[in-house]
Structure formats: C-alpha cells, structure tokens
Structure 1
Amino acid sequence: MHHPLRQHIERITPLSDEEFDYVLAHFTRKKVRKHQFLIEEGEPVPYEFFVVAGCLKAFNIDREGKEHIIQFALEDWWISDYQAFFNKVPATMLLSSLEEGEVLTISLADRNKLCAEMHKIEHFFRLKITAGFIAMQQRILASMNLSVQERYEKLLALYPNLSQRVPKQAIAAYLGVTRETLSRLRRS
C-alpha cells in the first residue's frame, strides 16, 4: 500500500521510489491529540502540515472573544498560518486538532530545498497553492454573495462527512453565525 503523502503527490506527478523516499525524508511525522494546539497566535510558524489522519482547524479569535474558523483540514489536506509560515512573522491565527490524528510537518527551508532540487515537487506545490488560493477566493465570494443557508448547503455538498466529524459550534464559527442560527438552518 502506498504512503498517503505519495498517493497525494502522485495525483499530480509520478515519483520513483527513490524520489519519494527522498521527499519523505524532509518530513517529520507527528501524532496529535484532540484539542492540541499546533500553532498559537504570536508565535513563530516553522511548519506546514499535511493531514494524514484527523481534522484540524485554523482560526482567529476577535477582540470580543468570538472564534472565526478560517479553514478545516481533513485527511489529504494542507494547513498552516501561511502568512506567518512564508513571511517568517508571528502567527495571526491558531491551529488546533478537533480529533486525535497524525500529521506530517515540513519546514519552509526543506520545502524550498525540495522545490529547488526537484521540478516535480515545485510543480506539485505550485498547483496546490493555486488550488488553495482559488478555494479561498470562492469562499470569500460565497460569503459576500450567498445567504447563510446557501453557504451551509454548499459546505455540506462539498464535504458531506464534515458535519459528523466537527462540532456544530465549529461549523457555525466557520459560517460566521451563532449555533442557534445553525440549528435553525439544519431544521429547514
């Protein structure tokens, strides 16, 4: 059976066994506990995370103490505070685990090294960043143009298992509504 990271990369570009072993050597495997913080606001962000198992959330807490979820990351997804990771500035978001799981971490130096040495990996990361940018743009447009009901239905259509894995409060924080509003949406 192929390694999950290899399967993920090979959806874009094939790798020989030697190439994959070299790529994997630049990652560190990390088990995560439920509710464990991987990034804390104001701290450096040394890693990007590939989710092997579990579910993570990237979020911000506003001045009133309200949580705003920027992204969920399930198996086969990448997540980090990208502004902090790429610009080497303190984190403006938090990243925590909603489930027990496992991630692979890669540092910016190792990511850049792999991209400089292997065109296939540079191509892979370029396509992943492009897809992430498009997804974020679509989410912003949806928040500006769709009703809460439409955004909720779109979320469930895109990620049908998310509601079984993520607390209702987290889905509400992702949609930017209260838990009560979410309950009304779910009944309609």
Structure 2
Amino acid sequence: MKFIILSGYKIFRGRQNILPMNDVLKEHIAEIIELNDDDYHVIAEYFRTIKFRKWQFVIQENQTVDKIYFVLEGLLQSSFVDNYAREHILHFATKNWWITDFQAYFKREVSTAAVQCLEDCVLLSISFDDVDKLCKAKPQMERFFRMKCNNAYLALQSRIISLMSNSAKERYSNFIKENPDLFQKLSKKRIANYLGMSRETLSRLNT
C-alpha cells in the first residue's frame, strides 16, 4: 500500500490501491438507501482514508476547503475565533458523523472555521468534485447526501432554537441526555463553550 506523508498525517493514494468498502460507512449508507456489493465497490473508489493525531488540524481558518470527512474513529470539533480572540465551538463529530467547514465546502471558498482532532482520528475523505462524480455514477447516492444535508439542517435549527429559548440548565440537561458518550469524553470547558455559557455557570449546574 503506497501512501504520502502530508503535514503529519497519512493519506492513501491511487485508485489501484483503493481499500475495500469500509463496514462503518457501508452500514451508515445502508440506513438510508439500499445498494448491492457492486455499488459499494464503486463508492469505495471515491473515498480516501486519512489518519490524524490528537490536536492536529484537519482544516485551519483561511484554508481552501474541497473535502468533507466521515469519522471512522476519534473525536473532532469545529470552531471559529471572533474579532475579540474568543473561540466558539460550532459542533463536534465522532464515529459515524460528517465534518468539514460546510460554508467553505459548499460555496467553494476559504474556511472561517477550523476542524481539530480532540483524539487520534481515522477519517474517510471525499472531495466536492468526487461527490458530484459519485452521484452521477450511482444516482442513489444523491438521495443519501440530500438526506444527510436535510438532517444537518434540522439539527442546526434545533441548536439555534435551544440557544435562543432554553435556559442554561435546560441546554445542559438536554446535551447530557442526547449525547451521553460525548459528555464522558469532553472537558467541561468545551461543553460550556458549545452550549453558550461560561465555565462557572456550568460548574454551578453540577452542584
């Protein structure tokens, strides 16, 4: 298997060296659409496996973004820094989740958000152009990606409504209920940032 080392991570290259269809991604796709083994063989050709170490950046601010990432292993966060040098966490991603700077990815522009690994990570990447090619080769995948976008929009709307209408205690309780695995992995500081409250407020909620 040939690979190239780029900024500390490994990316497998060359369609002649394509890995077999990953079972995690296969099961993820099968939740939405029905495909046969030949379909999955074609799909596998469009993805690349990349490994990152803890604290490495997958995407940095002001970087051109043309790939979206599916998480096989690990934990990541997407965040941006405002004009007052304050970091704001947009979302997290763990196994079976997708992550990128979505605005930069869809608008084909440089990133405003950074994506960083909070653990050692194994990701599958696919470029914007390859998503288009894949959907033309396997039209069923267009429905898959559309459904993933729909679900992401619903989650975003729910998060905005929660930030605007729920109390700090309600946001914290909902986060624990909806994300028990993340709650165990993340520091209280990161959870507080994501929920739009101070670390001190979150500490009071724990007493």
User: Is the Cα–Cα contact under 8 Å of residues 64 and 111 in structure 2 kept in the other structure?
Assistant: yes
Cα displacement string for residues 73-130 of structure 1 (whole angstroms, at most 9, x for unaligned residues):
1100011111101111110100001111211000000011111222210010000000
Aligned to 2:206, the other structure's residue is in SS state: helix
- Equivalent positions of 1:20-99 (< 5 A) are 20-99=40-119
* TM-score, normalization by structure 2: 0.87
Residue 136, structure 1, aligned to residue 156, structure 2? yes
AA of the residue aligned to 1:76: N
1:123 aligned to which of 127, 132, 143: 143
For 2:77 and 2:35, the matched residues in 1 are separated by 30
For 1:182 and 1:115, the matched residues in 2 are separated by 44
For 2:84 and 2:34, the matched residues in 1 are separated by 48
User: Is the Cα–Cα contact under 8 Å of residues 74 and 122 in structure 2 kept in the other structure?
Assistant: yes
For 2:31 and 2:93, the matched residues in 1 are separated by 18
Matched residues, number: 187
For 1:39 and 1:177, the matched residues in 2 are separated by 25
Aligned to 2:92, the other structure's residue is in SS state: strand
User: Is the Cα–Cα contact under 8 Å of residues 59 and 116 in structure 2 kept in the other structure?
Assistant: yes
AA of the residue aligned to 1:182: L
For 1:137 and 1:50, the matched residues in 2 are separated by 22
Aligned to 1:15: 35
Aligned to 1:104: 124
Aligned to 2:15: none
2:199 aligned to which of 161, 173, 179: 179
Radius of gyration: which is bigger?
Answer: 2
User: Is the Cα–Cα contact under 8 Å of residues 22 and 44 in structure 2 kept in the other structure?
Assistant: no
Aligned to 2:166: 146
Residue 167, structure 1, aligned to residue 187, structure 2? yes
Q: Percent identity?
A: 39
For 2:154 and 2:136, the matched residues in 1 are separated by 24
- TM-superposed deviation, 1:2: 6.6
What RMSD over aligned residues (CA atoms) do the two structures have, in Å?
Answer: 1.3
- TM-superposed deviation, 1:17: 1.2
Residue 4, structure 1, aligned to residue 36, structure 2? no
Aligned to 1:134, the other structure's residue is in SS state: helix
Unaligned runs of 5+ in 1: none
Unaligned runs of 5+ in 2: 1-20
For 1:2 and 1:59, the matched residues in 2 are separated by 28
* TM-score, normalization by structure 1: 0.96
